[in-house]
Structure 1
């Protein structure tokens, strides 16, 4: 990591501001919603049919939009089903926003909530200390394993919490996508050497090494990054912060690093120009992991 650079994650307020902007400019959330609405019901059908109650965990749920979409889909498909829903999220502002979203969303009275305002590591420690034995039908981790050091141990722990025929959903960027190319090219200058990122390819390799069973679903996404190329544009600077995970990247990055990042983001391997806009193309995968055998 270049000595003048600081992690965006260390500044909660700016991170949430950058995340909010990203949500406005990207199709990835809508594409995830389409997956939840149109593919998830069929994937889960064999596990859900005939059940009157579900136990679910959302891991790294953020402000809850994806969780609520999943829960709303379940209510639509299985109107008589009740749900125990646990939330694991370390950011207190995100927990607050999630609770606000719950209060503003009608028809969630069939859900019993348990809020765990803690990291994944603390959740696992707390779980074992309290000797909890509850099992779950469905556990999901959308775009959160980036923030976990021992991903294999985390996956194994949550697999161990699944009921028979339970499913673990993991969503991550693909390493050969535009975002993956950005990180593989410059990631060692964005962060400290001991801090590594992760892509879905590595998770699949881990599962293959353990003989794990899973299915994979591709989600393509686009994000408008036009303002990143307008010098001094506040929203462009925020977007660069989010893409690099570097606090105030545009102002703090050495000139060669900033120039290289902008050149790569504009490269046809990563983006296309359309109607005067620069559209960043990338994709992630959702893998559906079965219970440990």
Structure 2
């Protein structure tokens, strides 16, 4: 529960899934370029006598995972992926995707319906180790992302790779989330650039790369637009933001929306800037 009668969107899996679907619908980027961004060359990092072992943190509906797996199957002959996803509706869609897109492919899945904090709660007792761990936009609502990164790195096999994709401090949506976080006195969520500084200062072998794309936010100006309101909920992580947030917070957020980029098509756009961190062991 957030302050002042507001509820966190991320605490309601079904509502979050609805808002996330609208967010994805409004993204504009070259799919080929983004697929290349999320499938970096990781080299031959395993013993050829065993499957490539992947840990997917916050896999969502699996659209990124399937792209990554298809890319890795060009190099590796067999894959075993452990999927951590607390949202049941997302997992169901991922499993449907597996049936249609992974049929007949040498891939096995182990489904874990839990948060990454729950998975790592007894991380010292986790016997399985992984060649490749990825967290794609999945560490935003964790209590202590830096602690999670540290523990995930410990689960890597020698020469393994941890990939994190997270909002940069230059990201327009991040700026709104930060503004709301100040109001809620929630300052625990670092941006991708903060994570990079932490990793480098603690001696991790880390390589960053940035990627940017546009989000059409025009519907946010229409108070009667269901999709516009869901976008605001997603940007702020506040359920029913227009009706539950205090007036001064609404005005602050809408001022940031008004300063968005106006395109040649007369639509308003936010610039999403993300950083990919590749951490090698």
TM-score (norm 2): 0.91
Residue 10 of structure 2 corresponds to 9
Structure 2 CA distance for aligned equivalents of residues 172 and 159 of structure 1? 17
Instruction: Establish whether residue 180 from structure 1 lines up as the match of residue 137 from structure 2.
Output: no
Offset from partner CA, 1:38-62 (integer Å, 9 cap, x none)? xx1xx31353696773111101111
Residue 34 of structure 1 corresponds to 36
Structure 1: stretches of 5+ with no match in the other structure: none
Aligned 8 A contact 2:196 2:208 in 1: no
Residue 145 of structure 1 corresponds to 139
User: Among residues 64, 67, 70, which one is paired with 1:69 in the alignment?
Assistant: 67
Q: 1:138 deviation in Å?
A: 0.6
Aligned 8 A contact 1:58 1:87 in 2: yes
Q: 1:169 deviation in Å?
A: 0.1
Instruction: Establish whether residue 288 from structure 1 lines up as the match of residue 278 from structure 2.
Output: yes
Residue 109 of structure 1 corresponds to 105
Q: 1:142 to 1:87 in 2, by over 3 A?
A: same
Q: 1:27 deviation in Å?
A: 3.0
Structure (1/2) with the larger helix percentage: 1
| Displacement over 6 Å in runs of 4+ | 48-52
Aligned 8 A contact 1:61 1:88 in 2: yes
Q: 1:25 to 1:176 in 2, by over 3 A?
A: same
Offset from partner CA, 1:101-144 (integer Å, 9 cap, x none)? 1112144530111111111122123554xx34322111000111
Taking the TM superposition and a 5 Å limit, the aligned residue runs for 1:213-292 are 213-267=205-259, 270-291=260-281
Structure 2: stretches of 5+ with no match in the other structure: none
Structure 2 CA distance for aligned equivalents of residues 245 and 175 of structure 1? 17
Q: 1:256 deviation in Å?
A: 2.7
Aligned 8 A contact 1:5 1:247 in 2: yes
Structure 2 CA distance for aligned equivalents of residues 194 and 24 of structure 1? 28
Structure 1 CA distance for aligned equivalents of residues 29 and 190 of structure 2? 18
Q: 1:154 to 1:178 in 2, by over 3 A?
A: same
Structure 1 CA distance for aligned equivalents of residues 243 and 256 of structure 2? 18
Q: 1:203 to 1:108 in 2, by over 3 A?
A: farther
SS in 2 for 1:282: strand
Q: 1:271 deviation in Å?
A: 2.7
Structure 2 CA distance for aligned equivalents of residues 29 and 4 of structure 1? 40
Residue 20 of structure 1 corresponds to 21
Residue 116 of structure 2 corresponds to 120
Instruction: Establish whether residue 94 from structure 1 lines up as the match of residue 86 from structure 2.
Output: no
Structure 2 CA distance for aligned equivalents of residues 29 and 93 of structure 1? 27
Which segment drifts farther, 247-256 or 180-189?
A: 180-189
TM-score (norm 1): 0.87
Taking the TM superposition and a 5 Å limit, the aligned residue runs for 1:158-197 are 158-189=152-183, 191=184, 193-194=185-186, 196-197=188-189
Superposed CA RMSD:
2.2
